[in-house]
Amino acid sequence: MGNQKSIPEISRTIREEAVRLGFTDCGFSRAEVLKEDTERLGKWLKQGYHAGMGYMANHFEKRTDPTRLVEGARTVISLLYNYYTERKQTDPEAPVLSKYAYGRDYHLVMKERMYELFDYIKSLHSGATGRVFVDSAPVLERSWAQRAGLGWIGKNSSLISRCAGSFLFIGEIILNLELDYNTFREEDHCGTCTRCIDACPTGAILDNRTLDAKKCISYQTIENKGEISSDLEGKLNNRIFGCDICQDVCPWNKKALQHREPAFDPHPELLEMTTSDWNNLDHGRYQHMFRDSPLQRAGYDKIKRTLRFIQE
């Protein structure tokens, strides 16, 4: 890094700037092959637990080796962004959305903040190059966050931070500069707890910390392009987009604090919507309310399909 600041200094100032920009935590890992994950991901795909998410099987080598994904990669910067909220939908009978879907699409919000951080890094070192990823198929974000010392991967497959719980978005900047890498690995603090496994209404969490996406309500309500499997009839617990059940019951989320991101605040009418409001939601109103929302990933037709399914 020549005439510029030392690696520890640059690393410290990047972390400080990340926190100033609103990130909950930030850590650094060396960009190298994720050996353990190569085996684990290979098995998971072989057993078909990725269901219809064919993209999970694509670019296998790039997914487990960031140097194949980004030319000159030396560092993976992992960033966490809190989205936990105490606010809830007011009608207990209304179809339920995952908390992360209340406000503006987190990909847009996170990317804005991450590009600000990247610009800051470039101001520290003019030779900095890299790429920004938010919940992007080619990156194993939870593994990188774990390596960066930001938490452990719980039995429910979420990344859990001791300080902030698991209602966290994860993003990465893959960078060509060397930084001060984390050497601390957070222990697994799940212990003998099985609350998430016991609470999952569809039995999607298997004993060996594997998630069967086919059975998971999040997959079925967001990613599944076809019809929802009849095996899940009566098991969606009124969820129409995502599912927070295995995180809501996790004791580590008692520590979660209200997010401070105005963009994640819900549309003024969203939390008051009743079942009848959802049933009467036409395409025009849907677009008006959810134009920049994560619900666009499912789309109007899929939301309507899931509404029909939970009412059958």
Total number of residues binding ligand SF4 (CB under 6 A)?
Answer: 23
Q: Does 196 bind ligand SF4 (CB under 6 A)?
A: yes
CA–CA dist 95, 134 (Å, integer): 27
Question: Residue from 218, 221, 224, 306 that binds ligand SF4 (CB under 6 A)?
Answer: 218
CB contact at 8 A, 218 and 50: no
Give, in order, the Cα–Cα distances in Å from 250 to each of 152, 179, 198, 253, 310: 13, 33, 11, 6, 25
**CB 235 → ligand SF4: shortest distance, Å?**
8
3-class DSSP state of 85: coil
Q: Does 78 bind ligand SF4 (CB under 6 A)?
A: no
CA–CA dist 77, 268 (Å, integer): 35
Q: Does 246 bind ligand SF4 (CB under 6 A)?
A: yes
Question: Which entry of 119, 135, 188, 231 is annotated as an active-site residue?
Answer: 135
Q: Does 173 bind ligand SF4 (CB under 6 A)?
A: no
Q: Check if 277 is active-site.
A: no
Residue 303 parent element (H or E):
helix 300-311
Q: With respect to ligand SF4, which residue has the nearer C-beta, 64 or 146?
A: 146
Q: Does 29 bind ligand SF4 (CB under 6 A)?
A: no
CA–CA dist 150, 144 (Å, integer): 9
Part of the chain binding ligand SF4 (CB under 6 A), chosen from 77-85, 101-109, 125-133, 240-248 = 240-248
Q: Does 26 bind ligand SF4 (CB under 6 A)?
A: no
Q: Does 193 bind ligand SF4 (CB under 6 A)?
A: yes
Q: With respect to ligand SF4, which residue has the nearer C-beta, 189 or 291?
A: 189
CB contact at 8 A, 35 and 105: no
By CB under 6 A, what part of segment 250-269 binds ligand SF4?
250-252
Q: Does 245 bind ligand SF4 (CB under 6 A)?
A: yes
How many CB atoms lie under 10 A from the CB of residue 23? Answer: 22
CA–CA dist 59, 48 (Å, integer): 17
Q: With respect to ligand SF4, which residue has the nearer C-beta, 76 or 97?
A: 97
How many CB atoms lie under 10 A from the CB of residue 254? Answer: 7
Token pair in block for residue 221: 């309500």
How many CB atoms lie under 10 A from the CB of residue 7? Answer: 15
Question: Residue from 177, 200, 240, 273 that binds ligand SF4 (CB under 6 A)?
Answer: 200
Active-site amino acid positions = 135
Residues that bind ligand SF4 (CB under 6 A): 154-156, 190, 193-196, 200, 202, 204-205, 211, 216-218, 243, 245-246, 249-252
